[in-house]
Structure 1
Amino acid sequence: MSTPQPPTQQAAPVWQAAEPGYHSPIPVVRTHLGHALASEWTKIRSLRSTMWTLGVFVLLVVGIGLLTGVVVASTDTDLNGESALSLGFFGLLLGSMCLVSLGVLTTATEYGTGMIRTTMVACPSRGRVLAAKALVFFLIAFTVTLLSATAVAFLHMVMLEGNNAGQPTGDEWLKATVGISLHLALLGTLSLAVGSIVRHSAGAITLMIGALLAPLVIAMFMFASSLEGVRDALFEYSIPNQLSVFYSNSLSTSGPSGWDPLWIMLGVTAAALGGAFLLLGERDV
């Protein structure tokens, strides 16, 4: 009777190392912020909501800017040496609602659809995900706003050359293009943080539009002399007034001036993002 032969040991696959344990044939790459940025850029540029909101934003800013310039030029209004750049305020004020909506949708939509679970599985570092969303959105909002505001500014200077428009200084150009673009990009990023905190698109958009318009509207109906201080504060620190400061055309005689609105919005946005980071780490996805 023949004795059983011991089983022959199969050769280990080429990809398997000599030491014990399983080693995947797929190369493992340590992820970093660049991967999260690439992912968020792919998501935000492939969504129809991004194209619609940014398209409407450009249409409002450029369209209302052109309409305002045509009306002023056709009526032969004498600007008395005032800069024509201030006419771009109206389109940017309405367009800011588009950036507010897009900022909220950038974060809140994923919670509504449940896609946030897939995002967090792909990138378990929640803080990195939120940082990537905020950075990608800020850069997109700043670039689109800067291009639109600059185009409107040049158009107004050409169209209103015969209306006794003053020649803007370098600081006025910088504030009416770069300054207001930074402010609106931060406003949209603030909306992104609120969307991450609230996790509900309609609720967060309502909150942000209320914050955008409510202080100015409430102040307009405060007629009592005892509320004069509150009324002035609402006027001075309302977002429409802060936007007008960039055009040296403040709605009030006191309050923020120069570049103050930018630092105020930067502080508020940083605080909101800080709260969103804290809540993101403590909540269940």
Structure 2
Amino acid sequence: MSTQQQYEGPLPGHQAPPAPPAAPAPHGPQGGWPGQQNAGHQAPAAGGYTSPIPMARTHLGHALVSEWTKIRSVRSTMWTLGVMFALVVGIGLLTAVGLSGDSYTGMPLLSGGLFGLMLGQICVITLGVLVITSEYGTGMIRTTLTACPRRGRVLLAKAVVFFVLAFVMTTLACSLTALVHSTMLSGQEAPAGASGMPGTWEDGTLVASGGEWFGATVGAGLYVALLGLLSLAIGALLRHSAGAITLMLGVVLLPLVMALFMAGEALATVREKLIEFSPLNGLASLYRIPMAEDQDATGWPLLGGLACVTLVFLVLAYTLLNKRDV
């Protein structure tokens, strides 16, 4: 044999390498690959991968569910709404006990519910700020915006979930307080000249009209929920919990406090406007006890003004949220 020829068989003392195993045949339904549907699916190309997990387009409903999970799973929601409920109902009950009797108190039947709500609204304002600023404080806002890049959808979902929760809880607390006042104070008799006094009279007895009931329950719930929604917008603008809460407390309390210290005729016009357009006067007007002189409003015009202001700040928050990095 020539040295140029090569040996093609196995070397002495060695065995031929085993043949590679044959590729398994597809064993899915009707010969398809496992996890794939029959209609419109083919075997993946060499080197590629087809995920068996179905892909769905996200929408606002997913964001709403996410925000509802967040707001109900944190302790701040339970504490703030629980304290609000206790303040509104508890102070309302104490007020009804103090005003109970046959003599006329000089106020409409359901107006005593205002005093507890004046403190309870601070809890709703605080929760409105924390709904968004708490995520900035912990850095969780980066995860939220990564999971949902459409920032307007995130802001809208937060606003809707918070507004519905605040409105339902506040209206429930105000309704319970109104029932307590109607039960305990409905026996007041009309004094002499009661026709010109605050309240609604029927057969010589103080009663609450349908408008008073609606304003002291649904109207008050809407007003406080809008204040909380405005707080959420302020929190989105400032991105700082303490600063946003302080600013909102100033918006609610400062106009009336400033008006109390404005003595003299030169500041009379400014004083009257501060009292008339203060948030506390808008809330008191819904209970038919306005703080401004010669004001015959029911509180609904001021509630409409608050809704417009809240909408403006929500649009501003949406604009800045899209321009900022985070």
Same fold by TM-score greater than 0.5: yes
Q: Deviations over 1:36-87 (max 9, x none)?
A: 111111110111000000010001000000010111116x54235x522000
Match of 2:323 among 266, 282, 285: 282
* 1:65 matched residue in structure 2: 92
The letter of the residue matching 1:153 is A
Instruction: Give the 4+ runs in structure 1 shifted more than 6 A.
Output: 5-12
Structure 1 position 6, deviation (Å):
11
Tell me which of 289, 305, 315 is aligned to 1:264. 305
Please identify the structure whose Cα radius of gyration is greater. 2
In the alignment, what sits opposite 2:134? Answer: 109
| Among candidates 26, 38, 47, match of residue 65 of structure 2 | 38
CA-CA distance at 1:212 after TM superposition? 0.6
Q: State the alpha-carbon separation in 2 of the partners of residues 7 and 228 from structure 1.
A: 98
Q: What is the identity, as a one-letter code, of the residue corresponding to 2:312?
A: A
Unaligned regions of 5+ residues in structure 1, if any? none
Distance 1:246 1:33 in 2: 34
Instruction: Rate the CA distance shift 1:10–1:276 in 2: closer, same or farther, 3 A.
Output: farther
- Post-superposition offset of 1:10: 7.8
**Percent sequence identity over aligned pairs:** 52
Higher helix share: 1
TM-score normalised by L of structure 1: 0.92
Question: What are structure 2's unaligned runs of at least 5 residues?
Answer: 1-7, 10-18, 27-32, 190-204
* Structure 2 residue 272 is the aligned partner of structure 1 residue 232: yes
Cα separation, partners in 2 of 1:9 and 1:230, compared to 1, 3 Å: farther
Partner residue, 2:104 = 78
Which of 239, 252, 257 is the matching residue for 1:212? 252
- Write the deviation string for residues 216-270 of structure 1: whole angstroms up to 9, x where unpaired: 0011101132221111110000011010110111101256823102101110110
Distance 1:23 1:189 in 2: 45
**Aligned-pair Cα RMSD in Å:** 2.2
Give the corresponding residue for 1:133: 158
Q: 2:174 aligns with which of 141, 149, 158?
A: 149
Structure number with higher relative contact order (C-alpha < 8 Å, ≥ 6 residues apart): 1
Q: Partner of 1:222 in structure 2? A: 262
What number of residue pairs does the alignment pair up? 282
Q: Which residue of 231, 236, 241 corresponds with 2:281? A: 241
Quote the offset at 1:24 in angstroms: 2.2
Give, in whole Å, the separation in 2 of the partners of 1:7 and 1:233.
90
Indicate conservation of the 8 Å contact 1:237/1:255, yes or no.
no
TM-score, normalization by structure 2? 0.81
Matched residue, 2:196: none
